[in-house]
């Protein structure tokens, strides 16, 4: 690492190299990864924080309130957010999104539910302002905006789950007629997973199960990036224990079938 004093002694050519602009990464995510109360939020937050230390990152995220506490929280951690201000959801607008998804043969669940006008407008504005070096899709649903992306810009997608598998499992637990609807949504989600496997230059996954699934779909470079632990966050706690039998504390939620089955 070059210190401030060393930088002042660099030759003009070396200074030009050190001052070279970082690659621009345009991140698209349906919601702010804040508060850190879900696995998806925690993973996205730490990935974006790390990326922002190495690249010039712009994060387009759906936001309902101008005073959303997530905006300053991410800013304090070096993550620059471009909010796409959206109105609160209402049944009529959601019905329209469901109908449009059916006409286009695309899933609404975990996909077109997040395809909202404010997001499309903000993506267009940011692309017009500056063409990024990379477009980063947080989860599968930002693929709904693929028609707006420049063709020559590579795509990186971080897929936290295989949505088609989740939808199938939930469908198997439901009764008629919702089970039929969810089975069809699972089929459509599977098609979108094939689409992202073909479109993305790199796909990152949480586990080897997701990695294998995307590789079978033809993903060119599917990388396993498992979740970890930010050990520095626990530095203030004492090390060791004063009793022989350890106590394990689980922090998280058991909302998904995959999580319940793993316990």
Contact 206, 163 (CB under 8 A): no
Residue 163: predicted pLDDT: 96
Contact 113, 141 (CB under 8 A): yes
Structural domains of the chain ordered from first start:
21-162+189-228+239-261 (3.40.50.2000)
Task: Identify the residue with better confidence: 256 or 192.
Answer: 192
Rounded-to-integer distance, Cα 96 and Cα 117, Å: 12
Residue 78, helix vs strand vs coil: coil
Residue 254: predicted pLDDT: 66
Torsion angles phi and psi, residue 205, rounded to 5: -130, 165
Task: Identify the residue with better confidence: 87 or 233.
Answer: 87
**Residue 18 banded pLDDT, cuts 50, 70, 90:** very low
pTM, two decimals, is 0.85
Torsion angles phi and psi, residue 101, rounded to 5: -65, -40
| Strand ranges for the chain from DSSP E | 24-29, 56-63, 81-85, 134-138, 155-159, 202-205, 222-224
* Mean pLDDT, rounded, for 169-180: 95
User: What is the pLDDT of the chain when averaged over all its residues?
Assistant: 89
Task: Identify the residue with better confidence: 235 or 217.
Answer: 217
**Residue 256 banded pLDDT, cuts 50, 70, 90:** low
Rounded-to-integer distance, Cα 129 and Cα 82, Å: 12
**Residue 112 banded pLDDT, cuts 50, 70, 90:** very high
Residue 176: predicted pLDDT: 95
Q: Is the peptide bond before 177 cis (omega within 30 degrees of 0)?
A: yes
Contact 59, 48 (CB under 8 A): yes
Strand partners, 204: 158, 223
Closest by CA to 133, choosing from 57, 262, 25, is 25
* Mean pLDDT, rounded, for 94-120: 96
Residue 252: predicted pLDDT: 65
Torsion angles phi and psi, residue 87, rounded to 5: -75, 160
Torsion angles phi and psi, residue 200, rounded to 5: -80, 135
């Amino acid at each position: 690492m070059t210190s401030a004093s060393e930088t002042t002694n660099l030759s003009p050519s070396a200074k030009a190299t050190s001052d070279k602009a970082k690659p621009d990464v345009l991140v698209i995510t349906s919601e702010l990864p804040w508060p850190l109360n879900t696995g998806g939020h925690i993973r996205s937050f730490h990935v974006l924080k790390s990326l922002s230390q190495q690249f010039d990152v712009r994060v387009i995220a759906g936001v309902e309130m101008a005073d959303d506490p997530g905006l300053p929280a991410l800013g304090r951690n070096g993550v620059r957010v471009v909010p796409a201000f959206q109105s609160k959801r209402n049944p009529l607008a959601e019905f329209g999104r469901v109908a449009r998804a059916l006409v286009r043969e695309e899933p609404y669940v975990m996909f077109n539910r997040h395809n909202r006008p404010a997001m499309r407008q903000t993506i267009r504005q940011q692309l017009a302002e500056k063409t990024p070096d990379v477009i980063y899709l947080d989860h599968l649903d930002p693929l709904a905006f693929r028609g707006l992306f420049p063709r020559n810009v590579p795509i990186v997608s971080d897929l936290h789950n295989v949505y088609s598998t989740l939808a199938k499992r939930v469908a198997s637990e439901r009764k008629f007629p919702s089970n039929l609807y969810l089975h069809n949504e699972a089929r459509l989600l599977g098609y979108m997973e094939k689409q992202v496997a073909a479109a993305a230059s790199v796909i990152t996954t949480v586990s080897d199960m997701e990695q294998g699934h995307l590789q079978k779909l033809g993903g060119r470079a599917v990388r396993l990036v498992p979740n970890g632990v930010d050990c520095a966050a626990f530095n203030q706690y004492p090390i060791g224990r004063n009793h022989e039998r350890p106590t394990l504390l689980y922090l998280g939620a058991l909302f998904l079938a995959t999580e319940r089955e793993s316990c």
